[in-house]
């Protein structure tokens, strides 16, 4: 239990909640933890899924699958990320995407009633969880806006630059270790893998970026911003 509490205290969901409060919470609601192997489906699209997931270990991809067998990456999840926060407030809706583990993954699940059905003994903890959930939902709404922005950009170089600038701003550094391989990056940007590889090489030849594997560096910030906004 100590290892679990130490872990979740680092997450936005349990922000400002003390170790003692976490222990008190789990004394009432014992932890519900599930384990998934690599490539195992965590949530299927259209599934009736109404509990909050907190990734304790591993990584997962959120993707939209079409009737034609194609799959587009919406976003990805890493340790301490949460999913399905919004659906706890709209129980009649089914899950709109699929989530698949990209490595061995461990998820802590919290039922909505563990937060919304207020109990006198832990109401301060439940109140803190609700505030943290509101912040997480707001952040997800902002990320959705960013995804829409990428979809509206036509040029492949512009998509690449926009994405890298996003990651640079998020991580506050021009040297990045992105969480996607080339296939996943192509899917996320909605471009073909060969076209992505070609334009990455062009940007490197133009000294706008440098890259090796998943490690990128924006070497010309001004030029990168210009490409992202003009094309």
State residue 66 phi and psi, 5-degree precision.
Answer: -100, 170
- Where is pLDDT greater, at 76 or 120? 120
Contact 43, 18 (CB under 8 A): no
How confident is the model over 104-121, as a mean pLDDT?
94
Number of other residues whose CB lies within 10 A of the CB of residue 86: 15
Contact 129, 122 (CB under 8 A): no
Q: What is the pTM of this model?
A: 0.75
Q: What percent of the chain has pLDDT over 90?
A: 68
Residue 117 has pLDDT above 60, yes or no: yes
CA nearest neighbour of 60 among 89, 86, 82, 88: 82
Residue 67: predicted pLDDT:
60
Choice among 186-190, 200-204, 224-228 with the minimum mean pLDDT: 186-190
Confidence of residue 140 (pLDDT cuts 50, 70, 90): confident
How confident is the model over 5-15, as a mean pLDDT?
95
CA nearest neighbour of 25 among 125, 146, 147: 125
Helix, strand, or coil here: 25? Answer: helix
Residue 69 has pLDDT above 70, yes or no: no
Residue 49: predicted pLDDT:
87
- Domains of the chain in start order, with CATH, are 2-147 (2.60.120.10), 153-230 (1.10.10.10)
Contact 132, 59 (CB under 8 A): no
Task: State the helix-helix crossing angle for 182-189 and 156-171, rounded to 10 degrees.
Answer: 110
Residue 123: predicted pLDDT:
95
Helix (H) or strand (E) holding 146: helix 123-152
Give the CA diameter of the chain.
Answer: 63
Confidence of residue 66 (pLDDT cuts 50, 70, 90): low
How confident is the model over 167-171, as a mean pLDDT?
88
Contact 89, 21 (CB under 8 A): no
Residue 231: predicted pLDDT:
55
Q: Where are the beta strands (DSSP E) in 4-51?
A: 32-36, 41-43
């Amino acid at each position: 239990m100590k290892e679990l509490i130490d872990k979740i205290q680092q997450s936005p969901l349990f922000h400002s909640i003390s170790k003692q409060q976490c222990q008190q919470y789990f004394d009432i609601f014992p932890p519900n933890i599930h384990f998934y192997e690599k490539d195992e489906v965590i949530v299927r699209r259209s599934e009736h899924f109404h509990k909050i997931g907190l990734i304790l270990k591993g990584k997962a991809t959120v993707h939209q699958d079409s009737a034609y067998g194609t799959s587009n990456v919406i976003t990805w999840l890493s340790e301490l990320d949460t999913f399905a926060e919004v659906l706890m407030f709209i129980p009649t809706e089914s899950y709109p995407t699929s989530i698949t583990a990209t490595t061995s993954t461990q998820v802590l699940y919290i039922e909505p009633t563990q937060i919304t059905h207020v109990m006198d003994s832990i109401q301060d903890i439940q109140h803190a969880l609700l505030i943290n959930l509101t912040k997480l939902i707001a952040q997800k709404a902002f990320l959705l806006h960013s995804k829409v922005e990428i979809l509206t950009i036509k040029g492949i170089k512009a998509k690449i630059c926009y994405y890298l600038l996003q990651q640079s701003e998020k991580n506050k550094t021009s040297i990045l270790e992105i969480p996607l391989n080339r296939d996943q990056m192509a899917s996320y940007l909605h471009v073909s893998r060969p076209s992505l590889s070609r334009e990455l090489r062009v940007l490197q030849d133009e000294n706008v970026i440098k890259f090796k594997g998943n490690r990128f560096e924006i070497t010309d910030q001004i030029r990168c911003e210009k490409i992202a906004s003009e094309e």
